[in-house]
Every structure is written in C-alpha cells, then in structure tokens.
Amino acid sequence: MKYMLIWRATDEAYARLEDVDFTQMLETVGRFNEELIKAGVLLAAEGLDDASEGVVVDHSAEVPVVTDGPYGETKELFGGFYILSVASKEEAVEWAKRAPMIGPGFKTEIRRVTTIDEFPQDNEWIQKERAWREATGQL
C-alpha cells in the first residue's frame, strides 16, 4: 500500500527553522531519507517552495479567484511530502514518528494513496488513465 506523509507546520514552527543551520538540516533529513531508502519503502519525497511564491485558485465562486501568496491564514502550511510503499497504516505511522521534523507546531498527516484498481474498471476515463499509466511505465 502507498501512504503519503504530509509535513505541516505553523508559521511559528517555520520561523524557528530559520535559526537552524541549513547544512545541518540537510544532514538530518538526509539521514532519515537514507533509512527510508535502505528499508525499500521510499517512492517519492519533495519539499515545497515558500508559500509566498505560491498561488491559490479558489473555486468558491462561479469564476475562480486567484490569490498570490503569502496567504492571510497560514495556520498549518503544507511544506513537503513523502510517498511510502508500506504494508500497513501502522507502518506508515511508525515511519512518521521517526521523521526529523519535530517540535511544537510540526505535524505529519498520513493519508493512504488510492490505486487505479480501486475505481470502476469499465469506466471510459479510468481506462484512458490506465492506458496512459501503462504507456509511461507507471503500471
């Protein structure tokens, strides 16, 4: 099963990271990544650019509204993610507990990634996606 570990942090938690030596941070996260790789569970991992560089497309109105960052409400920003291939949600939780992003204001959300096999296989759009995935080596 695939699980996504989503890093979230408050503004205050991100502010504390500004005081951490970047080389030290890379080493700490790198060691964790190496553990995931050695265990054979890491499928993907990415960090995200600063929220001030992003935009939000709000679909609440008939015409979508685009707002540049930084955002008014940044209680818990999504800062990066891992996608792991593990046997169970419990195993994903154990990996999340070992993640180096710790301290007040840091959280890791864990969500199972659904597979294409869980959707109706007789659906035209699922068939098109399956063909695309097969053609690009994703299945």
- What are the residue ranges spanned by the domains of the chain? 2-135
pTM, full prediction = 0.82
pLDDT (tens digit per residue) in 113-122: 999 999 999 9
At 82, the pLDDT band (50, 70, 90 cuts) reads very high
State the pLDDT at residue 133.
Answer: 94
At 74, the pLDDT band (50, 70, 90 cuts) reads low
Better-predicted residue by pLDDT, 129 or 105: 129
At 73, the pLDDT band (50, 70, 90 cuts) reads low
In whole angstroms, give the CA distance from residue 84 to residue 129. 22
User: Superfamily for 2-135?
Assistant: Dimeric alpha+beta barrel (3.30.70.1060)
Ramachandran assignment for 67, one of left (phi > 0), alpha (psi -120 to 50 degrees), beta (any other)? beta
